Structures are given as C-alpha cells and as structure tokens.
Amino acid sequence: MSTFIVLLGPPGAGKGTQAEILAEKTKLAHVSSGDLFRENIKNQTELGRIAKSFMDKGELVPDDVTIKMIKDRLVRPDCETGAILDGFPRTPAQADAFEVILTELKGRVDLVPYITASEEVLVARTGGRWTCRAHGHIYNQTYNPPKQSGVCDFDGSELYQRDDDKEEMVRHRIRVYLKQTMPLVEYYRKAGRIIEIDGMQAKEKVTAIVLDALKNSGSRRDFSAEM
Ligand code: AP5
Ligand code: MG
C-alpha cells in the first residue's frame, strides 16, 4: 500500500516549503500541481496555454484538465511508493477523482497536514517569495533568503517572482481557496486524516509536527528509520 500525504492550506501557508523538506526526509516524490502547470507554461505546451489563461486570473484550472495531469504524473515510477501532494486535490471533485486513482494505484491518504496562517501573513510571505527557475526551490527575502541574492543555493539557477504573487491577486486567490478548497478540510476531517497546524510557526517546527503525526498515522510504511 503506497503512502500519500496531501498538503492543504491557503496560498503562502508553506505547502511548497514543507513538501520540499518532507520529500527529502521521507524519500517520497514531491508532486506540485502549480509547479507542473508552471513547467508546462515554460515549455509552451497546449496544457500550459490552457492553465495560463486561468492562473493569470487567480482562478483554478478546470478539474478535468488538472485531474488528467496529476494522474499522468502519479503513474511515473518515482511515485511507486507514494507521494507528497502539494496543491492537489483542491476541489471536492478532484478529491473524489483522487480516491479512484488511489484505488488503481493501491495507495491511500495517510495524512493531511492542514497549514493555516492569517491573511496578512500570507500576503507578506507571497510578496517576498522568490522561486528558482530550474526546480522551483522556494525562498523568502525576509524569512528564508538565498545565500546569494537572486541565485538558487541548490542549483545556481536564477530566482524569479511569480506573476500571481502581486497583492491583489494573492487576496483573490485566498478568496478562491476559501470558496473552492475549504470544503476539503471537512472532507478529510471526516476521513480522520487531518491535522491542523499553525503555519505561522518557524518552518522547522511545522516540519517536526508533520513528521511526528506521520509516525503515528497508522501508515503501513515505517518512517522511523528514514527520519
Ligand atoms: P500553487 O502554485 O499551488 O499556489 P498556491 O496553492 O496558491 O500556494 P502557493 O504556492 O502560493 O503557497 P505555498 O503554500 O506553496 O507557500 P510556500 O511554501 O511557497 O497554484 C498556483 C495556481 O495554479 C492556482 O492559483 C491555480 O490557478 C493553479 N492550480 C494549482 N493547483 C491546482 C489544482 N489542483 N486545481 C486547479 N488549479 C490549480 O511559502 C510562501 C512563502 O512563505 C515563501 O517565500 C516561503 O519561503 C515562506 N515561508 C513558508 N513557510 C514559512 C514559515 N513557516 N515561516 C516563514 N516563512 C515561510
Ligand atoms: Mg506552492
């Protein structure tokens, strides 16, 4: 039975930051729907063209397009033991489709860390975010600066600011999140998988809470050796 961790939370809560760290610690693949869309936009694919028309407005990409992209990603060999999902599922329809995919993959959602933060913190964090062009490594000019300004510590690639991180756009994305994604908190609470974490703590503290919950999650996989 493969292990899936679903990170839930508003824009800027720290999903990508935590996914990066957790992937390294657990050796599970990091699957970010936002990164996959951005990669397709960069490569000028048809999927990228469709995604861009929604992302530029801070709206969600349609469910059918998103579900197909994630399904294609999860059948790749690096997801054989499971994955850390960052940004998917994001609507009840995506969560239902994900259950069908999980049955096919013989996987299950072991844990749903739900990371929260105030709107002002979300706006401040996204305003100061810098992302690496090559692999999406995440920095913040105040909380997590790179060693050399504008350059990724890991791969030396250029750092850029996302087009959808302007303040008005972030506030709109938060409204979209509240309307379309918040129902998933109840969905996974009913399934007994949610742990709610105050995302305004230091990122190391957030990671420690997730890892602790994972060890006690009843996952078929024993993580204690790897962490
Ligand atoms: P996506 O890329 O998923 O963006 P998002 O969900 O809006 O979330 P963010 O990436 O903005 O925030 P994050 O929680 O990852 O925060 P991060 O770790 O970077 O989606 C973008 C768009 O793609 C959507 O609007 C939609 O159009 C489309 N899309 C994607 N998935 C979709 C789906 N499933 N269905 C339909 N459409 C979809 O952290 C933010 C900043 O804070 C960083 O600078 C970081 O260094 C800093 N930080 C993180 N943690 C801490 C901490 N504890 N303390 C201090 N600073 C911290
Ligand atoms: Mg992210």
DSSP string for 187-224: HHHHTT-EEEEETTS-HHHHHHHHHHHHHTTT-SS--T
**pTM given for the model:** 0.96
Closest CA to 182 of 121, 108, 112, 91: 91
CB atoms within 5 A of ion ligand 2 belong to 16
Looking from the CA of residue 70, the nearest atom of ligand 1 is 34
What amino acid occupies position 195? I
The confidence score (pLDDT) of residue 226 equals: 59
Taking the centre of ligand 1 as the mean of its atom positions, its distance from the CA of residue 221, in whole angstroms, is 28
What is the pLDDT at residue 34? 98
Is the pLDDT at 223 greater than 80, yes or no? no
CATH number for the region 2-215 comes to 3.40.50.300
Q: Which residues line ligand 1 (CB under 6 A)?
A: 9, 11-17, 33-34, 37, 54-55, 58-61, 66, 87-88, 90, 94, 125-126, 128-129, 138-140, 143-144, 164, 173, 199, 202-203, 206
Known active-site residue 171: no
Counting every residue written for the chain, the total comes to: 227
Residue range 24-28: mean pLDDT, rounded = 96
Task: Please state the domain extents for the chain.
Answer: 2-215
Q: What is the mean pLDDT of residues 34-56?
A: 97
Measured CA to CA in angstroms, residue 70 lies from 47, 101, 216 at distances of 12, 10, 27
Measured over the CA atoms of residue 46, residue 60, residue 32 and residue 84, the dihedral's sign is: negative
Indicate the pLDDT class of residue 218, thresholds 50, 70 and 90: confident
pLDDT one-digit tens code per residue, 134-184 = 999 999 999 999 999 999 999 999 999 999 999 999 999 999 999 999 999
| Cis amide linkage into residue 89, ω under 30° from 0 | yes
Tokens at residue 1, please?
């039975």
116 CA → ligand 2 middle, Å:
14
Using the atom order of ligand 1, give the atom closest to the CA of residue 17.
Answer: 18
Torsion (CA) 156, 44, 181, 72 in degrees, nearest 10: -90
The strand pairing partners of 195, in sequence order, are: 113
Is residue 220 over pLDDT 70?
Answer: no
Nearest ligand to the C-alpha atom of residue 15: 1
Nearest CA to ligand 1 atom 34: 88
| pLDDT given at position 221 | 72
pLDDT at 224: 66
